[in-house]
Amino acid sequence: MAMIPLVIGYLIDQITKYVVVENMSEGQSIPVIPPLLHWYFIRNPGAAFSIGTDYTWIFTIIQTLALGVVMYLIISRARTLPWLITLGCLAAGIAGNLTDRLFREPGFGVGHVVDFISLPNFAIFNIADSLIVCSMIAVVILIFTGLPMNDHAAEDEAPVEPARTESPENVSD
């Protein structure tokens, strides 16, 4: 079940980036819902808010490890639908930006991420970024509500009936 949001999210991210790269010039801004939303095409070598622009290769390593952990959770731990959907969306976001890091200019492992969604007084981001942020919010909610990642967690946490402290002689019929 996690593969559906993973594939759909990844494809939407990559298709929107392709459309932006093919139809806009870098630095170009197109009003969508002025003044709230613009498409503003930039290439980001860093992380959120362009942090760490000189360390692109570190983000590539971190994203590769993070994708591995999320895929491990999907394959071997997660069994409940909310967790599968959440982790699938998270994997889609990580994979979308990792694809940019691996295969976009200026080169393998140091590629710049295509960002294009611009809101006033906020960072410029993309679909993958949105998937990551929304998924992490969902993870926090799932953890705070105590929803188990798999069906066995509830059984593992079932209360144990206390042992009887009365001796058979003291029990009246």
Instruction: Find out whether 80 and 150 touch, Cβ atoms under 8 Å.
Output: yes
H or E element at residue 154: helix 152-156
- Pair of tokens at residue 71: 């895929």
Listed in order, strand segments (DSSP E) in 24-170 are: 29-33, 37-44, 113-118, 124-125
Cβ(114)–Cβ(20) under 8 Å?
Answer: yes
H/E stretch holding 88: helix 81-103
Q: How many CA atoms lie within 13 A of 160 on its CB side?
A: 4
* Positions marked catalytic: 115, 129
